[in-house]
Amino acid sequence: MTAVQPLQLLSPEGGASVEPPEGLDPERLLSLYRNMVRLRVFDRRALNLQRQGRINFYAPASGQEAAMIGSAAALEPQDVAYPTYRESGVCLQRGMSLRTMADQLFGNARDLVKGRQMPNHWSSREHNIVSISSCIATQIPQAAGTGMAQRFRGENAATICYFGDGATSEGDFHAGLNFAGVFRANTVFFCQNNQWAITVPVTRQTAAPSIAIKASAYGFEGIRIDGNDLLVVYKTVREALEKARSGGGPTLIEALTYRMGPHSTSDDPRRYRTEQEVETWRRRDPIERLQRYLEARGWIDAEQVERIAAEAKEEVDRAISEAEAVGPPEPETLFEDVYARPTPQLERERRELLDLIRRGVVSRVTHTPIRGS
């Protein structure tokens, strides 16, 4: 079967011929470009932090900035996002500060989830970002359910669900999309087809000509787009969200992109993909592409580009320095947020732990037995 060509607005060269979609004036485009640069800088620093043993894990987003920033920019505050562990750009664009993101990487006392999640697993009630699971595709039925609830309640809100090409081989993908189609959920399913699910290429995930075409089996629209084209990402996601909020049902969007780095810090991509492939996609860098477009339109110049890069580095350095200086969560927090009202068993365990700490049997910092005790 012939592969479906992705929709595209911005040429690979970033020429000035196309007008920006509604909602993207020059000031907004500069803001999105700035966030893409901030994400790239944060990404590289976080990857180095893990290599240096200062954090335990990281899943980089480099190469996928347009897909993340562009899609999140289309969301309204009341919309709900179900990300994966790679959607750092969604958190950033939704308003989460770099400092808050760095706090989570270190699992320190300021971490919103009190050190209970792996690094890269952000969540925020304030920003309508639902807690992330490491297990692949589990968020898809949950997002379908949230979109169903929004529709049943008549809310002017939608849900966006992020996942990769590998998730489309999981049963939860099919169950979630089937429910969403049957019940006309206010859900947009956003697949970042970055070509590789850890070591498995997308050609081993499906024999279909695209992932987007799978939506037809569930009775709703599927759209394939160029995920490195910020303009088409924003426009397509915005229209799909508006359709969902107005009762038009779900949409499956397949954004073709590429992860330039490893799947995570537990991975070595050199073992399964060629440098030629990586170089081909490097020439399609979404940040450089948008930058060329802005330059061609006269909306940014070389001096601004350098200033934005320098400001991003300074901001990321400051956020990481401040986060790393904060100590771990207090041991008492282990027993918080487990139940609305702590059970007698939890209260007893809390008293026992604090007594062990007081007697020097357990470290207050690491919550582990002290050698020789």
| Active-site residue, from 38, 259, 289, 292 | 259
Question: Active site includes 272?
Answer: yes
pTM greater than the 0.85 cutoff: yes
Question: Active site includes 259?
Answer: yes
| Active-site residue, from 224, 263, 284, 289 | 263
CA dihedral 131, 163, 254, 37 (to 10 degrees): 70
Instruction: Give the chain's length.
Output: 373
Report the sign of the C-alpha dihedral through residues 241, 242, 244, 248, in that order.
negative
Under 8 Å between Cβ of 63 and 49: no
**How far, in Å, CA of 311 to CA of 200, rounded?**
37
Domains located in the chain, CATH noted: 26-324 (3.40.50.970), 330-373 (no CATH)
Strand order in the sheet with 80-82: 80-82, 159-164, 187-193, 251-256, 221-226
| Active-site residue, from 51, 54, 204, 272 | 272
Question: Active site includes 82?
Answer: no
Q: Beta strands 196-197 and 200-201: pairing type?
A: antiparallel
- pLDDT tens, the chain, 373 aa long: 567 899 999 998 888 889 999 999 999 999 999 999 999 999 999 999 999 999 999 999 999 999 999 999 999 999 999 999 999 999 999 999 999 999 999 999 999 999 999 999 999 999 999 999 999 999 999 999 999 999 999 999 999 999 999 999 999 999 999 999 999 999 999 999 999 999 999 999 999 999 999 999 999 999 999 999 999 999 999 999 999 999 999 999 999 999 999 999 999 999 999 999 999 999 999 999 999 999 999 999 999 999 999 999 999 999 999 999 999 999 889 999 889 999 999 999 999 999 999 898 888 776 666 655 4
Query: Each residue of 229-277: pLDDT tens digit?
Result: 999 999 999 999 999 999 999 999 999 999 999 999 999 999 999 999 9
> Would you call 156 helix, strand, or coil by DSSP?
coil
Give Cβ neighbours of residue 309 (< 8 Å, ≥ 6 apart): 37, 41
Query: Each residue of 13-56: pLDDT tens digit?
Result: 888 889 999 999 999 999 999 999 999 999 999 999 999 999 99
Of 29, 28, 34, 32, give the one whose Cα is nearest residue 310: 34
